[in-house]
Amino acid sequence: MKESYSRFALVYDELMEDIPYDTYVELIALAANGIAGKKILDIGCGTGLLAAKLAKSGGNVTGVDLSPDMLQIATERAKSLNLSISFMLQPMQKLEGHSGFDVAVIPIDSLNYVTDRMEVLQTFRNIYQALSIGGVLLFDVHSTFKTDVIFLESPFTYDSERISYIWQTEPGEELHSVYSELAFFVKAENDLYERFDEVHFQRTFPVQEYVNMLLEVGFKIERVFADWEDEAPAEESERIFFQVRK
């Protein structure tokens, strides 16, 4: 779970190098009719990679995450880039104290760490309250094909000069959920490798179930698309995007 992101925060950026954050910025700009001057809530902001890009584009960004380690790195990133970004320690299902936002974003399957349906619904309610009338929410989740098929093709391995891992998965008790056990080996200054372990649990829901929850809260569905493309989700799509408006 994301609560376990501690030492993992130190290797997170390298592991996320293949994520097209610039494309996410473009998607947000398209949904919000530009970024400059917009008040943006980055939920599950992690180490602040997306928040920094949005702030560089002129957004007034607030980032929230439940990991102090992630937020420490995010704060240091913003400071080093001379960017004014507010960061807050909050789980998205207990989001509070936010209002008047033009945009909310839950990037890179962060919502899949909220595994209880009622808490997903509560997260949508919290975001609805945080947005101004006409404000937009953009988020992505794993498809059920990814949780039920692709993730269960483990073990997966990764090896770079500095970081290696072995990733084992097994299905969770809930439908479309998956447990992940990762053993990391990180090269230290003495050229020896230090090991640490992570256990993560994620769950997703079918597209229509997300749609039903969003409609229940009061959102208007504008766009549902897949895999970074302006195309409807297909049977083997892996990442599903939702664009909805208050």
pLDDT tens digits for range 157-185: 999 888 899 999 999 999 999 999 999 99
CATH of the domain at 179: 2.20.25.110
Range of the domain at 174: 146-203
Residue 109 sits in the same domain as residue 227: yes
Q: For 193-217, how does the pLDDT look when each residue is reduced to its tens digit (9 = 90+)?
A: 888 888 999 999 999 999 999 999 9
- Please, are residues 176 and 158 in contact by the beta-carbon 8 Å criterion? no
Residue 124 sits in the same domain as residue 157: no
Residue 178 sits in the same domain as residue 131: no
Output 174 or 186, whichever has higher pLDDT: 174
Least confident piece of the model among 10-19, 49-58, 196-205, 233-242: 10-19
Residue 217 sits in the same domain as residue 232: yes
Residue 12 sits in the same domain as residue 111: yes
**pLDDT confidence band for 237 (50 / 70 / 90):** very high
Residue 68 sits in the same domain as residue 188: no
Q: What is the per-residue pLDDT for 190?
A: 82
CATH of the domain at 64: 3.40.50.150
Task: Quickly tell me which residue has 């990764």 as its tokens.
Answer: 158
Q: For 105-162, how does the pLDDT look when each residue is reduced to its tens digit (9 = 90+)?
A: 999 999 999 999 999 999 999 999 999 999 999 999 999 999 999 999 999 999 988 8
Residue 11 sits in the same domain as residue 114: yes
pTM of the model: 0.93
- Please, are residues 43 and 92 in contact by the beta-carbon 8 Å criterion? yes
Residue 211 sits in the same domain as residue 133: yes
Residue 210 sits in the same domain as residue 166: no
- CA–CA distance, 112 with 142 (Å, rounded to integer): 7
Q: What is the per-residue pLDDT for 191?
A: 82
Number of domains in the chain: 2
**pLDDT confidence band for 192 (50 / 70 / 90):** confident
- CA–CA distance, 77 with 52 (Å, rounded to integer): 8
Q: What is the per-residue pLDDT for 9?
A: 67
